[in-house]
Amino acid sequence: MTASPPDFAPLRTERLTLRPLRLDDAPALHRLVNDWEVAKTLARVPFPYPRELAATWIAATWSQIGAGEAWHLAITTEESGAEQLIGCVGLTLSRDRKAAELGYWVGRRYWGQGIAPEAATRLCRWALATLEIVTIRASALRDNPRSQAVLRRIGLRPAGEGVQTFLSRGGPMPVLLFEGGREEITGDAPPPAAAEAPAGGKPIVLVAAVALVDADGRVLLARRPEGKPLAGLWEFPGGKVHPGETPEAALIRELKEELDIDVSAACLGPFTFASHSYENFHLLMPLYLCRRWQGEVRAAEGQALAWVRPQKLGGYAMPPADKPLVAMLRDFL
């Protein structure tokens, strides 16, 4: 078992910090969760909650984070200049690692302040941008409308009914099931460039992208980092074409900024293009091929990178505009 808290950068919101639990959190954790009004809503929490269980569970969360299996974090805020533990929020991966189960609780004193949706949304957005999950699931007791409202506020949609065993209640209880993905939880799409839309139409956004192909025939994908629209999705490197800029010039600029490589216009071969309509704008994206560049590819902006065999490109979650390009690129390469 991990002997110390894992190396995990805290997640922050305007009011809250989500961080790994510490052993000195045990007294506050025990005090908050050893409350029937809190414990009765949690499937895996016994009641009364033994004091020694707090430290044991905290240590177990360290091992789970270290193994990349689950992330159970403390929800803290600042009161009178001091950090206060006010609850916990967690995600547990499914066996196939494509889904995660969301759980949370907040001390009764802090109910009605929007703490749960704020903390859960932050963790879910981190997970969708960092992990390979595509679905987040959760459940709420049928007689717990407060938790049901939290899940809807996060963006999860009803997904049926079920039965779960609740340790605090000593047996199975009926629950409502919820689930959602990136679209429901983040609700974002690439922002349109500043442009006036024609009458009755949408503004056109021009984005240039490139398939960098290495000596082994692999294609480079970059993952959109947290904080950007469509965070967590994999895409071909590139970016918006500025006014008065050619697509080739845009790619030369973007590849230097994002990957620290130098590319000449002569090495950019036009291949195909994507034309995709989003809600507020229409995206036009020429895709180029490039096999030669100067410098070593590196993630200059901290984004994740992957060199992918053409036949495996379809296994990566990508923005809708990029998806049609995969089949053509795979057939060509």
All residues at 6 or more sequence positions from 135 whose CB lies less than 8 Å from its CB, including other chains: 98, 99, 100, 179, 180, 181
**pLDDT at residue 230 greater than cutoff 90:** no
Q: For CA atoms 298, 303, 306, 307, give the dihedral sign.
A: negative
**276 within some domain:** yes
Cα(182)–Cα(136) distance, integer angstroms = 9
Q: Are 59 and 2 in contact (CB under 8 A)?
A: yes
What are the pLDDT digits (tens) for 70-104?
Answer: 999 999 999 888 999 999 999 999 999 999 999 99
Q: At 146, is the pLDDT very low, low, confident or very high (cuts 50, 70, 90)?
A: very high
**104 within some domain:** yes
**133 within some domain:** yes
Does residue 158 sit in the same domain as residue 287? no
Does residue 154 sit in the same domain as residue 218? no
Q: At 263, is the pLDDT very low, low, confident or very high (cuts 50, 70, 90)?
A: very high
All residues at 6 or more sequence positions from 281 whose CB lies less than 8 Å from its CB, including other chains: 192, 193, 195, 197, 202, 203, 204, 205
Cα(290)–Cα(235) distance, integer angstroms = 15
Cα(267)–Cα(254) distance, integer angstroms = 15
**125 within some domain:** yes
Domains in the chain, number: 2
pLDDT of residue 194: 47
Tell me what percent of the residues of the chain surpass a pLDDT of 70: 95
Q: At 150, is the pLDDT very low, low, confident or very high (cuts 50, 70, 90)?
A: very high
Q: Are 283 and 323 in contact (CB under 8 A)?
A: no
List of E strands, the chain? 11-12, 17-20, 70-79, 82-93, 99-106, 135-141, 157-166, 171-180, 204-212, 219-223, 234-235, 238-240, 269-277, 282-290, 305-308
Cα(45)–Cα(60) distance, integer angstroms = 14
Does residue 78 sit in the same domain as residue 156? yes
Interval 281-308 mean pLDDT: 93
Does residue 144 sit in the same domain as residue 80? yes
pLDDT of residue 196: 55
Does residue 238 sit in the same domain as residue 328? yes
Question: Does the bond joining 48 to the residue before it have cis omega, within 30 degrees of 0?
Answer: yes
Residue numbers of the domain that contains 290: 204-332
CA proximity to 268, closest of 240, 244, 300, 246:
246
CA proximity to 271, closest of 236, 234, 226, 232:
236
Q: At 105, is the pLDDT very low, low, confident or very high (cuts 50, 70, 90)?
A: very high
Select from 159, 186, 213 the last residue of a domain: 186
Q: How many CB atoms lie within 10 A of CB 15?
A: 15
Does residue 239 sit in the same domain as residue 311? yes
Q: At 273, is the pLDDT very low, low, confident or very high (cuts 50, 70, 90)?
A: very high
**pLDDT at residue 247 greater than cutoff 80:** yes
Give the CA count within 13 Å in the CB-facing half-sphere of 118. Answer: 20
pLDDT of residue 320: 87
Give the C-alpha distances (Å, rounded to integers) separating 184 from 197, 230, 306: 27, 12, 26
Q: For CA atoms 147, 151, 153, 159, give the dihedral sign.
A: negative
What value does the mean pLDDT of the chain take?
A: 91
For residues 29 and 315, which has the higher predicted lDDT (pLDDT)? 29
What are the pLDDT digits (tens) for 166-218?
Answer: 999 999 999 999 999 888 887 555 454 445 555 667 888 999 999 999 999 99
pLDDT of residue 199: 60
Parallel, antiparallel, or unpaired for β 17-20 and 70-79? antiparallel
Q: Which amino acid is at 310?
A: P
**Where is average pLDDT lowest: 38-47, 208-217, 231-240, 277-286?**
277-286
